[in-house]
Every structure is written in structure tokens, then in C-alpha cells.
Amino acid sequence: MVGTSPAMTGGAVVPTTKATLAILDDDHILRLIRYAISGAGEVSEDWARGFFLPEEVDLAHVRAIGDGLHAADGVTLLPLAASATLRTQGDLDVLIFRRGAIDAALMDAHPRLKLIQRIGARADQIDLAAAQARGIAVSCVPRPSLQLTAEHALMLMLALAKRLPEADVAVRAGHYDAARVKPDNGVAYNWVGLSPLAGLYGAAVGIVGLGEVGTMLARLAGGFGARVLYCNRTRLSDETERALGVHYRALPDLLAQADFVSLNASNLPDNAGLADAAFFAAMQRTAFFVNTSRGRMVDEAALSEALARGTIAGAGLDVYAREPLAPDSPLLKAPNLILTPHIAGGSRTGIIDEAAAVLANCRAVLSGGEIKYRVA
């Protein structure tokens, strides 16, 4: 039984009994958590510093979110290489993961397991009934950065439909035909003559990949009165589709019917170049394409040509095959294209708060404290 100690490290209660933690998979936020727990022992300071650049971060602050969970506190963090054997052997107290499935067999391999901690709000890959039967707490920490990414995708859609960049330039430059503008009591609707103008209300928004960000985007788009279509590797249940207000379409049908197409698919090898010339040719000529996922999934030359030929009406990108965007990229000369510099998820430093929420739960379960975002 893990007890509490009056000893405090950076305000964190330190467990009095040795404990073992493991992180099942690997990505940038999980690597940051490793750094916070183990310092430069497994993740280099060069990587940690470079992760935040060009934003400046005090790495001592990052390490501090792991206080109470360092080796000196009696906590062992298994190396990433050990994750391959965790499904069949081990004796963990805490299991942290982002992707993958947590089933009863994995729980049974760790009879001491106290907490299954997912990074992300969805619990559909965790056998909650098995966890409850074994007295294992389950927490799914929401990630504000994912919500911000969904918001950014929606913003790009609205900016494209309402021709925001063009409108701003025209107003600042004073571009309008005085002979055709007749103000009525000082009001001159659309005096620069932009056309067509649209929005999300009544439009069909097609989401390619209904993961966490795609699901958030579906809810936002539905709130604007859009009809939401989706395609996914695995179709949702009828009940889930009704709850989200989404309609399944195979990819060709989605592309043919959607007024907006948002790429939110997983960054898997099979998805490289998913949005190619055939993809854009299958879209409506009046439709807009948005990508806030990963640049490698888009054939940028094909997108540039589709925009130049008017195959699609416009596009908005926050991610690119190469970042920063190369100065000779054909995207820079493409018409009707909004470009942002990979900022959809907000400030990079916001991920520190996400990691801190995860580690606070780890401390809590080892010291008898309250676990937040508990789902079982």
C-alpha cells in the first residue's frame, strides 16, 4: 500500500513506497513526460529545448512538473524499450499511454496496477468494465491543444468561405467601384464587390478521419448549422453517429458531396500523399480543402495545381511536408490559399500544462490523493 509522506518536492507529495511507471507508446508529449520524470537520463536536454523553440522555456520548470516522481523519490520509469514486453509481464503501478488498446489481459499482467492514464479525453480503447472489476482507476485527461486545432480548422473554413484575406486587402487598399457603390445612410453592403460569399450554415462539412480532433470539429461545425459527413477506417456505431450528428460516407462520396473537406486522418505511413491529384479532382469545384493534421498527407504540387486550375475553390493549410515552408514551394504562388505557420494547437508551452495534469494524477494515485478526469 502506498502511503503519503510529509516530505514535499516542489509542492508535490512524495510516495513513501517504491512505485513503477511505464509509458506504453511514444510521441512528443509522451517524450516530454519522460523528460519531466527522468531529466536528461532518457531524453536529452537538446531535444527538450529544441521542442519548444522558437518559444523560450525554462527547462527547470518542465522538470518540476515531474516532482515526486523522480528516481530519487523511489519511482522507477521503465525505458521505452521495455514497452514491447509490458503486455505479457511486469508489475506496474501506473500505465500512461496515448494510442493503443488497454484490455483485461494487459491489466492482468500487472496485478499491482492502480492507474491507467490516457492522454486525451476518449476512453473507447480501454476496457472500462475490466478496470472496474480489478479496482484500477482510469483517467482520460483532455487536451486543450486538440480543441484549439479543431477551432483553427473551423476558422480556416470560415475565412475561406467569407474571403477574409481578400476582404481585408481590398478594404485597406480602398478598392471599390465608386460608380457602383451607392451608400444608404452611410451603409454600403459589400462595397468591394466580393463574390461568392458563403459560410458554414447549411453547408456540408466532410471530415476525413474522425479521431479526437475530427470529433471536436464535427461538434463545432454542427453548432454552426452545418451537415457533417465523415469517413474513417472504422465506421462508428449508429448510436454514436446519432449522438455526434454525423453521417458516414465512403471517401469518394464524401469528396463529391462536401462543401468543405477537412483532413484529420492519423499520421500513418499508409496515409502519406492521401490528398493527391485524384483526391482534389473528386471534390466539387466550389469546395474548400483544409489541413491541420500533417503535411505529409498532402501532395502539395497537386494541391497547387488544383488551385491554379480552379479544380477546387480554395484551401487553408497549417501544416506542410517541410517546415518551415520552403521558399520555392509552389504553395506560395497558389491562388485562394490561406497559410498559417503550424499554430493550430496554440502555444507550444501549452503542452506543459497537459503533461502536468497527467503527472499530477500519477502523484495522486501513489499518495492517496484525488484523481482528476476519472472515467472509471
- Count other C-beta atoms under 10 Å from residue 31's C-beta: 18
Helix (H, G, I), strand (E, B) or coil at 375: coil
Residue type, 175: H
**Catalytic residue IDs:** 294, 323, 342
Contact 63/9 with Cβ under 8 angstroms?
Answer: no
